[in-house]
């Protein structure tokens, strides 16, 4: 249940629209999250379709045992899926539309949300590293190109490591020879069992009380790095969400990405945070769709005419699912359209991307949970055992409220401040660095 690497570049959203794109296919109906709109997006769906039977068959045992679907991801590597969001000129599939990424995640989540969440982590890294490749300084461009080419070959799996564990504060300090040493521990790092590289959110205190934010990219075989398998989650149990610890890990200067400073109050970063995470809305739309299909199939197979209460719930499930998909689609289209707007004030663009995202996230989390809950009621007491598919969906769908940006509480703070015109630091990574450490 990874927290996304939202300490991404302030203009990372621009990478999507600056990537060469195919001419869109047939117009997608408003509110649709079932159809890809570009040729690379449609090709991604074709490749994923080959894996869906395996994903669906393995979902229940993997959830029961908390087992990461490593064989599925080996298949993704062979088919080029792990390089889906890598530019075509670097060997990837060149899927750049957030809409198409969300549709792909929805399809996978219908079979297994844990697999979709892990795949999202890789897709997100392709998008953010593409920005670095196009717009970063030369050392960063070289690093990004090396990783992106390896992702396209299925050799690199790049995980985000954002949330500090307990009272740990992950920090960088100079090594005295021009590089850095990284120490700390991260939790909720999804896809960690197969991760080859970790993009880490770290602080670097400097003179006069200023603290800089950085994102070192650390290879798995770096001395001092260890993977800690202690995941026993309520939901997303097969997502490979482990802790990663760093004990004076050496990091070359060229492998550290600058992320601003604590307390900068820059809303430009919200564009990158939106692009990095908004496609997760497709995951929860997929969970709701899977629950709906299970419930409808169960009712349809019963010999007796469904009672009025069941038919009412089925109608409400359908309406909620439509509202959920329409809301998610609108926010994603908004992000796709605003990404290339370099003519806008960067702070304004960041807010205009993040605010619809947060409105959609609140509604998607509420509606998806309501859909799954009503599906349990329609199917009945058979769902009240851990092995039932709806029981797994019921647990998985709750993960959305804990995902950054933002958690439910932080999202309420953000949206209410926007409505009321209150001043606040909207960069949650910066905010965390100023909060008293309380172990949460």
Task: Specify burial of residue 252 (Cβ count, 10 A radius: 0-12, 13-18, 19+).
Answer: middle
| C-alpha span between 256 and 7 (Å, rounded) | 12
| C-alpha span between 187 and 354 (Å, rounded) | 25
Contact criterion met (CB below 8 Å) for 99 and 265: no
What does the pLDDT look like over 249-273, one tens digit per residue?
A: 999 999 999 998 998 899 999 999 9
Residue 328 CB coordination number (10 Å): 29
Contact criterion met (CB below 8 Å) for 263 and 434: yes
pLDDT of residue 355: 98
| C-alpha span between 161 and 6 (Å, rounded) | 10
17: pLDDT confidence band, cut at 50, 70 and 90?
Answer: very low
| Statement: residue 385 has pLDDT above 70 | yes
CA angle 387, 229, 151 (to 5 degrees): 95
Give percent of the chain above pLDDT 90: 82
| C-alpha span between 277 and 82 (Å, rounded) | 17
| Statement: residue 160 has pLDDT above 70 | yes
What does the pLDDT look like over 274-283, one tens digit per residue?
A: 999 999 999 9
pLDDT of residue 376: 97
Give percent of the chain above pLDDT 70: 92
SS3 state at 188: strand
Tokens representing residue 324 in the block: 């959920």
| Statement: residue 351 has pLDDT above 90 | yes
E strands in 9-106: none
| C-alpha span between 286 and 112 (Å, rounded) | 9
| C-alpha span between 331 and 337 (Å, rounded) | 10
pLDDT of residue 131: 86
The span from the first CA to the last CA of the chain, in angstroms, equals 15
Contact criterion met (CB below 8 Å) for 295 and 301: no
| C-alpha span between 124 and 132 (Å, rounded) | 13
19: pLDDT confidence band, cut at 50, 70 and 90?
Answer: very low
CA-wise closest residue to 266 among 350, 356, 209: 350
């Amino acid at each position: 249940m990874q927290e996304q690497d939202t300490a991404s570049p302030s203009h990372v959203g621009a990478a999507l629209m600056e990537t060469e794109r195919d001419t869109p296919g047939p117009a997608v109906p408003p509110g649709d999250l079932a159809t890809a709109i570009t040729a690379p997006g449609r090709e991604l769906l074709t490749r994923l379709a080959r894996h869906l039977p395996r994903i669906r068959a393995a979902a229940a045992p993997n959830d029961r045992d908390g087992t990461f679907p490593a064989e599925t991801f080996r298949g993704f590597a062979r088919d080029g899926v792990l390089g889906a969001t890598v530019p075509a000129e670097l060997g990837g599939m060149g899927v750049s539309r957030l809409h198409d990424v969300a549709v792909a995640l929805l399809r996978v989540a219908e079979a297994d949300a844990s697999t979709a969440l892990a795949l999202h982590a890789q897709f997100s890294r392709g998008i953010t590293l593409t920005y670095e490749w196009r717009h970063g300084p030369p050392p960063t461009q070289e690093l990004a190109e090396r990783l992106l080419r390896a992702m396209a070959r299925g050799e690199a799996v790049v995980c985000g490591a954002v949330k500090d564990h307990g009272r740990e504060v992950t920090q960088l300090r100079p090594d005295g020879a021009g590089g850095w040493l990284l120490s700390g521990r991260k939790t909720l790092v999804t896809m960690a069992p197969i991760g080859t590289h970790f993009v880490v959110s770290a602080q670097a205190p400097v003179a006069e009380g200023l603290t800089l934010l950085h994102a070192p990219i650390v290879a798995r075989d770096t001395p001092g790095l260890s993977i800690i398998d202690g995941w026993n989650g309520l939901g997303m149990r097969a997502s490979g969400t482990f802790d990663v610890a760093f004990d004076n890990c050496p990091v070359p200067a060229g492998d550290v990405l600058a992320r601003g400073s604590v307390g900068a109050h820059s809303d430009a970063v919200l564009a990158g945070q939106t692009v990095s995470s908004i496609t997760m809305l497709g995951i929860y739309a997929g969970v709701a769709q899977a629950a709906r299909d299970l419930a409808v199939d169960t009712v349809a197979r019963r010999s007796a005419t469904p009672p009025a209460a069941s038919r009412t719930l089925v109608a409400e499930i359908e309406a909620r699912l439509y509202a959920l998909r329409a809301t998610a689609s609108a926010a994603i289209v908004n992000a796709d359209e605003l990404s290339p707007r370099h003519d806008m004030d960067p702070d304004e663009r960041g807010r205009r991307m993040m605010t619809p995202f947060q409105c959609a996230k609140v509604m998607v989390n509420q509606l998806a949970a309501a859909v799954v809950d009503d599906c349990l009621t329609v199917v009945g007491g058979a769902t009240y055992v851990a092995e039932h598919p709806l029981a797994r969906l019921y647990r998985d769908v709750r993960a959305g409220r804990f995902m950054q940006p933002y958690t439910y509480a932080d999202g309420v703070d953000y949206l209410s401040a926007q409505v009321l015109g209150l001043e606040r630091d909207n960069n949650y990574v910066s905010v965390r660095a100023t909060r008293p450490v309380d172990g949460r």
